A = this chain, B = another copy of it.
Amino acid sequence: MLAHSSFQNAPHHHAGAFLRNSETPSAFSPTPVQPVTFFPAGAEIYADGEFAEAIYQVEYGAVRVYRLLADGRRQISAFHLAGEIFGFEADRAHHFFAEAIVSTSLRRFRLAAGADISRDLLPLALRSLMRAQDHLLVLGRHTAIERVAAFLIDMAERQGESGHVDLPMSRTDIGDYLGLTIETVSRVFSRLKERKIIRLTNSRSVEILKWDALRQMGE
């Protein structure tokens, strides 16, 4: 699956990866080398209800974190790309499912009981909170095209703003992240193509042609 995607071929991120996303350089750096685990596409990283014993940093690949309703409706609360850290919870249990979207490698950081980890964790938690709050605005008050625009801008910014955006996730994933159906996502992509705002090399690879138009919609 997705053998062409740059996500699988991305350079591995080692110690310095914490510097991405402007996270504090000191975070966790004093701890010895942490174990790295590989997950094939679709593999479960953790499940709702499990004991939350570690947090994770994406070495390469991509992760989706989501909740399910009884009737199968799914809300993806976040995607995590190379360098990003996820998996902290308010209590010691997970309240989400996390899965590898593509072949993914994760570095685990155990939550040592005694250590004063809060100094390192707080900025990460606050950043995560900020992202969730940004997403609230999108889900609560944006139209379909604005949601997709905001999503593409976000993905582009997290990939270096080169104008070329890799989408490791399916249209269904995007829909479940944006509170839309797969059909609506697809139609919005088509509308953005028509208007020459984006170009699709293939369905998982987007080129942004008109940043200003996109930003105007995505706010």
Contact = CB atoms under 8 A, between A and B. Distances in A.
Contacts of A95: 130, 133
A89 B122 contact: no
Contact of A141 (B74, B89, B90): B74
A137 interface: yes
A7 to B, nearest CB: 24
A135 interface: yes
Contact of A136 (B121, B125, B139): B139
B219 A133 contact: no
A128 B127 CA distance: 12
Interface in A150-176: 176
A86 to B, nearest CB: 11
A204 interface: no
Contacts of A176: 140
Contact of A130 (B69, B90, B130, B219): B90
Q: How large is the interface on A (under 10, 10 to 19, 20 to 34, 35 or more residues)?
A: 35 or more
B67 A137 contact: yes
Contact of A132 (B74, B121, B122, B132): B132
B118 A122 contact: yes
A141 B70 CA distance: 12
Contacts of A128: 129
Given A69-B219, A179-B140, A219-B69, A90 B135 contact: no
A141 B73 contact: yes
A116 interface: yes
A128 B131 CA distance: 12
Given A118-B118, A122-B118, A179-B140, A129 B69 contact: no
